[in-house]
Amino acid sequence: MDQSRQRAGTRRVHPHRRPLHRRAPCRAARRSARSRDAWRSARAVRIRGRGRMTAIDHVGLSVADLDTSLAWYSKVFSLTEAVPFAIPHLAIRGAFLIDGAGGAIEVVERAGSLAVLEAVDPPEALMTRGYGHVCFRVDDVDTAHARAVASGASEKMAPQDSPEQGVRMSFVADLEGNLVELLDRRHPVGGRPAPEQLR
């Protein structure tokens, strides 16, 4: 062996044999690696999503006059129209109204739709099972209530203190009789108001 090569700490390699560190992984090793990667991916998917509700995405409202309802909700609650859509073969058209903070109403019109019971007040609405009303959180119940009534809504409950401490509420019916609650809760549902939020 060449002395200079021996001093450099190198070794001769047979011309027809590749170094071990350059060998491609065997078939069993490749299968094992793929199985390990698949298990990790499946586990990551399970960790990312467990089917829990993360938020209420939107509220759906069926109306007789789409354009009138879109204009009314946009004006009264300062919402912006977005994502208009249509399903011609079902005579359906609609659009979303968004508030810029994640809240959305899907307003839909279908030709030939029928009106449901129009309740005189919130207690009467509870005599019919199903979704009874939609509630909008506002920064001032009295102002929002007055604006809704001035824009054609029917008053169903005048602004008043809620049974929940530190919260004010009211009810109106929109132009088609759908109940809308107005609420100024400043804390999460089920939470406790801070002392400065109590009246």
Where do the domains of the chain lie? Answer: 56-114, 116-199
Residue 174 has pLDDT above 90, yes or no: yes
Closest CA to 180 of 163, 155, 152, 160: 155
pLDDT at 172 over 60: yes
- The larger pLDDT score, comparing residue 116 to residue 157, is at 157
Could you please state the CATH topology (level 3) that the domain comprising 56-114 is classified under.
2,3-Dihydroxybiphenyl 1,2-Dioxygenase; domain 1 (3.10.180)
pLDDT at 44: 54
> What is the residue-averaged pLDDT of the chain?
82
| Residue 40: per-residue pLDDT | 67
Shared fold status for 56-114 and 116-199: yes
Whole-number pLDDT of residue 195: 62
Helical H segments across the chain, by residue range: 3-7, 27-48, 66-77, 122-125, 141-150
Strands 168-173 and 179-183: antiparallel
pTM of the model: 0.69
Q: Which fold has domain 116-199?
A: 2,3-Dihydroxybiphenyl 1,2-Dioxygenase; domain 1 (3.10.180)
Q: pLDDT tens, 17-49?
A: 555 555 555 666 666 666 677 666 655 555 566
Q: Is 134 helix (H, G, I), strand (E, B) or coil?
A: strand
| DSSP assignments along 78-126, one per residue | T-EEEEEEEEGGGTEEEEEEE-SSS-EEEEEEETT-------SSHHHHT
- Structure confidence at residue 91 as a pLDDT band (50, 70, 90): very high
What CA–CA distance (Å, rounded) separates 6 from 186?
80
